[in-house]
Chains A and B, each alone.
Chain A
Amino acid sequence: KQEVTQIPAALSVPEGENLVLNCSFTDSAIYNLQWFRQDPGKGLTSLLLIQSSQREQTSGRLNASLDKSSGRSTLYIAASQPGDSATYLCAEYSSASKIIFGSGTRLSIRP
């Protein structure tokens, strides 16, 4: 059974810190990997999508990496801000059609 695991489940850091969120997956034939942000009671906001042929993607203060050999992806957030507080979901495209989501990391940035 293909699984996506995110550790830690919750994280609280002071404003300004750089932080890393972790995601691991069991599918060695990963198609894409995508990071989302979800605010309480809201839908998903796509942050970064990495194709299987790529190793990383960057957008502003965010950088996502993909290591297929170890089954891991990380989301790096630089200079964290209170507005970054949300749940971050990692999602693996196990095929062209199917996405498997991790359980998320609830991030809280303390002012």
Chain B
Amino acid sequence: GAVVSQHPSWVICKSGTSVKIECRSLDFQATTMFWYRQFPKQSLMLMATSNEGSKATYEQGVEKDKFLINHASLTLSTLTVTSAHPEDSSFYICSARKYPLSSYNEQFFGPGTRLTVL
């Protein structure tokens, strides 16, 4: 198997608060995890690449100080949305790539976290 979990599955918070989302690979190790964001009726957009033991790489236009990523172990990456605002409301999905790499380099996706900022 290659199961990725996310916690929480949904969260509602007040504007200005911070929210942490966890992404775990349950039955494999992942040196690299990815965070995506999906707005309603739109496709997934890569936000950042999370590397175990090093700093995350952010895509252009994604504020690294607002979306803090920590990948402290081979099975866990966290995304913290700091000082969340209503425009941060979205569906956040993580993925993980197995270590060691396979020939496919396939990414395995979590079930997503629905964030609503009031």
Contacts and interface: CB of A to CB of B under 8 A. Distances in A.
B54 interface: no
Interface in B25-56: 32, 34, 42-46, 49
Interface stretch (B12-20, B65-73, B75-83, B100-108): B100-108
Interface of A: 31-32, 34, 36, 41-44, 46, 49, 51, 89, 93, 96-99, 101-104
Contact of A31 (B32, B42, B46, B105): B105
Contact of B42 (A34, A96, A97, A103): A103
Contacts of A51: 103-104
Nearest to A104: B43
A43 B104 contact: no
A103 B43 contact: yes
Contacts, number: 47
Given A43-B111, A97-B49, A49 B42 contact: no
B49 A43 contact: no
A34 B108 CA distance: 11
A59 to B, nearest CB: 14
B2 to A, nearest CB: 9
Contact of A32 (B44, B104, B108, B110): B104
Given A42-B111, A43-B112, A44-B93, A101 B44 contact: yes
B93 A43 contact: yes
Given A44-B93, A101-B43, A96 B105 contact: yes
A41 B104 contact: no
A51 to B, nearest CB: 6
Given A89-B43, A101-B43, A49 B112 contact: no
Nearest to A53: B103
